Amino acid sequence: MLLFIGGSELIFVFLFVVMFFGADKIPEIAKGLGKMMREVKNASNEIKREIKDSSNQIKDDIDN
């Protein structure tokens, strides 16, 4: 998705964010987005691990 966004579009979005939220809110917003992305990544990894564990358990049950 970011492949189709050029430099001028990024500047426009950044200026819009600064005007809408104010310059002092940007670090707070970035911190919140970082936390959200980390939680999504952790949840995704946990789901992958559970699926892998379940498939290994099924393989073990079939082998026995």
Is the whole model's pTM more than 0.75, yes or no?
A: no
**Cβ 21 vs Cβ 29: under 8 Å:** yes
Q: Which residues contact 18 (CB under 8 A, 6 or more apart)?
A: 26
Q: How confident is the model at residue 6 (pLDDT cuts 50, 70, 90)?
A: confident
pLDDT digits (tens, 9 = 90+) for 7-61: 888 888 888 888 888 888 888 888 998 999 999 999 999 999 999 999 988 888 8
Burial class (CB in 10 A: 0-12, 13-18, 19+), 17: middle
pLDDT at 2 over 60: no
DSSP 25: G
Position 23 scores a pLDDT of 83
**Cβ 17 vs Cβ 26: under 8 Å:** yes
pLDDT at 64 over 70: no
Give the separation between CA 62 and CA 6, rounded to whole angstroms: 53
